[in-house]
Amino acid sequence: MMPDIFSSFDPYMFNTLFPTNSMFLLTNTLILLLVQSSFWVMNSRITTFKSPIKNTIFTQLSRTSGLHLKGLSTTLSAIFFLLIMVNLMGLVPYTFSTSSHLIFTLALGLPIWLSLIISSFSNSPKKSTAHFLPDGAPDWLNPFLVLIETTSILVRPLTLSFRLAANMSAGHIVLSLMGVYCATAWFSSVTSIILLTMTTLSYILFEMAICLIQAYIFCLLLSLYSDDHAH
């Protein structure tokens, strides 16, 4: 029994059944199986499964300037696979939800954002600095606009990481509450048992969709950040 609804975010609560290291090992193994190359003439089952996911990222990058950045499409595809696996692994009962912690999401978003900033200033410092000041603004407003743009760019990795962690945390808290209500419903009427069980199953399916959507949004925002890269 959990002491409170936030106990699902404690990695030491469920180490006896599914250790955190085992979950990381299983996730990494699945990712390696999905991203491996295929040398067959016809597509294998793994290639057929991963092709729509890769095409989703490539299609999004084709709408942004990230298409001209070598290696970005491969990196975002790997992050997309990783987030999907980690988010879905967090839905397994009595497991540690890794993607609901800020240190994990920040470790993914901060290096990509920082590499885009460093690459942009290394490529063209003047064009990169020009992004801090919009065109057509009055002179007296320029210092405030520079300050606002600088702040908005600096907080991007924090908002990106908080968005994923907060959405996953909220979903797991709701699942914990519904699990408690379903457990207590076994001592009440049959109608309550059926109603709460069907509601819980429906929310689990909804949470699985949220896991996929949040992984896509995370990679989508990273691809949109590449529009500020100087070319």
> Mind listing the pLDDT tens digit of every residue in the chain (231 residues)?
445 555 555 555 554 444 444 455 555 555 555 555 445 555 666 666 667 777 778 788 778 777 777 778 888 888 888 888 888 888 887 777 788 888 888 888 898 888 888 888 888 788 877 777 777 667 777 778 888 888 888 888 899 888 888 888 888 888 888 877 777 777 777 777 788 888 888 888 999 999 889 999 998 888 888 887 776
Output the pTM of the full model. Answer: 0.77
Alpha carbons within 13 A on the beta-carbon side of 35: 16
For 12, the domain range is 5-228
Distances from the Cα of 211 to the Cα of 48, 80, 133, 165, 218, angstroms: 21, 11, 36, 11, 11
Contacts of residue 121, Cβ cutoff 8 Å, sequence gap at least 6? 128, 230
Chain CA centroid to CA 118, Å: 23
**Smallest Cα–Cα separation from 89: which of 229, 207, 219?**
207
What is the per-residue DSSP string for 148-217? Answer: HHHHHHHTHHHHHHHHHHHHHHHHHHHHHHHHHHHHHHTTS-HHHHHHHHHHHHHHHHHHHHHHHHHHHH
List the structure tokens of 229: 């890269």
Give the DSSP H/E element, type plus range, for residue 86: helix 72-89
Report the number of distinct structural domains present in the chain.
Answer: 1
